[in-house]
Amino acid sequence: MPQPPAAGHDGARPPADGPGPRPSGDLAIETRGLTKAYRGGQLAVDGLDLAVPRGSVFGFLGPNGSGKTTTIRMLMGLIEATAGSARVLGQPMPAAGRRVLPKVGALIEGPALYGFLSGRDNLRRFDAADPVADPRSRAERVGHALERVGLAAAAGKKARAYSLGMKQRLGLAAALLQPRELLVLDEPTNGLDPQGMREIRALVRELAADGTTVFLSSHLLDEIEQVCTHAAVMARGRLITQGTVADLSATVLDSRGHGRLTVTTPDTADTIRVLKEHGLTGLEAADDQVTGELPDADAPLGAPDGGVPLDLADLNAALVQAGVRVRGFGTERASLEDVFVQLTGEGFDVAG
């Protein structure tokens, strides 16, 4: 499937036949034909063309085994690509790794911790390994990082006694010891309870507000939908599509017509009758909500008397005129689950 061009400065995307990809200087990550093949010719990543705008929160979406972690490892110079190229912060990787990596914080496949050291002492070791870190301010940096991920109270506990979620938090703290232009997170909420997930999502939003580009890999659709401005969908090693989250959802709605209408009302039976008269299909009622599929965008809503076609405002008025007490009325935005199923024909792990 052709991939949309990269987003502009306002987050909007040019039409498919419009200008090409953004200049490399506007991209935090850019790959061209990036490929990784293993023995026997098995392709873990197949010709990946990825464009991650600076300042975005970019969700790298796909089921386990779709090539996400392999891609991240190539971007960070941990494994060598079989073909293609990758640029991170405008520099070729892995050739420019020494210049690029100090500007990048990364949490990949879980943190590598010293179990016999406390959480605080683990961070001190990570900080001491950074050649640009000023040892005079180490304690301040470590304390601030622990506070940001909610581990200050457990800083003195040995890492081997940490839960999986606490280890994830500590790994994230290590990535945040220094200000970063780019933060690369591979399944950052793995092992966290719902409260921990909310805290990490809030932290990601905070980092993005400070100007950090966040590249977030996940197999959880709702995680990406809640925090990301842009997303890419991977399946079986190939990039299916990429774009702003809003545009990906709009694409699915466009392919299905106007989308799905939801009416909140205590008068569900009358609502179904009126909506059916005006061309809606797939009508369902649950509690005080009625939902139905609107006609295709090219087929206007029909009036029951064969008169002038109705738009959504007229449809709302028709419900009111029929005595329906309308308490809510609107079309649903397609979710990332809708996007994934529409593009791949496969189900997906929505909540973990």
Q: Where are the domains of the chain?
A: 24-252, 260-331
Q: What residues contact 110, with CB distance under 8 A and at least 6 apart?
A: 167, 168, 171, 190
Answer whether 0.75 is exceeded by the pTM. no
Q: Which two tokens stand for residue 96?
A: 């420019």
Q: Which two tokens stand for residue 38?
A: 């293993």
- Closest by Cα among 202, 124, 195 to 159: 124
- pLDDT one digit per residue (tens) for the chain, 352 residues: 334 333 333 333 333 333 344 555 699 999 999 999 988 888 999 999 999 999 999 999 887 788 999 999 999 999 999 999 999 999 999 999 999 999 999 988 777 899 999 999 999 999 998 888 899 999 999 999 999 888 999 999 999 999 888 888 899 899 999 989 999 998 888 777 888 888 888 888 888 888 899 999 987 777 777 889 999 988 889 998 899 988 876 665 555 545 678 899 999 999 999 999 888 888 989 889 998 887 754 444 554 444 444 578 888 999 999 999 999 888 765 566 666 666 655 555 444 3
One-letter identity of residue 234:
M
Q: What is the CATH number of domain 260-331?
A: 3.30.70.100
Instruction: Give the largest Cα separation in the chain, rounded.
Output: 80
Fold classification of 24-252 is: Rossmann fold (3.40.50)
Q: Give residue for tokens 């098995």.
A: 42
279 phi-psi bin (left φ>0, alpha ψ -120 to 50, beta other): left
One-letter identity of residue 259:
G
